Amino acid sequence: MALSENLRYEAVSYCWGDEEDLRSITCNGHEFEVRRNLEAALRNMRYSDRPRLLWADAICINQLDDKEKVSQVQLMQTIFSNAQRTLIWLGDVEEKQAQKMSKFALWSIKMGLSIFRRRVDNINAPQVPVWDVEKRRFRTLAPFSSEFYLELMACSE
For residue 149, what pLDDT is reported? 63
Are 45 and 12 contacting, i.e. CB atoms less than 8 angstroms apart? yes
In a domain, 118, yes or no: yes
Which of these, 94, 95, 111, 114, lies nearest to 103 by C-alpha position? Answer: 111
Same-domain status, 100 and 32: no
pLDDT by residue (tens digit) across 87-106? Answer: 888 776 555 555 555 565 56
For residue 155, what pLDDT is reported? 46
The dihedral region occupied by 17, where left means phi > 0, alpha psi between -120 and 50, and beta the remainder, is: left
Out of 62, 88, 114, a domain closes at 88
Same-domain status, 97 and 84: no
In a domain, 108, yes or no: yes
In a domain, 53, yes or no: yes
Q: What is the domain range of residue 52?
A: 10-88
- From first to last of its 157 residues, the chain has per-residue pLDDT tens of 456 667 899 999 888 888 899 999 998 888 989 999 899 999 988 888 999 999 999 998 888 899 998 888 888 888 888 899 888 887 765 555 555 555 655 666 666 666 666 666 666 766 777 777 777 788 887 766 666 666 665 544 4
Total number of domains in the chain: 2
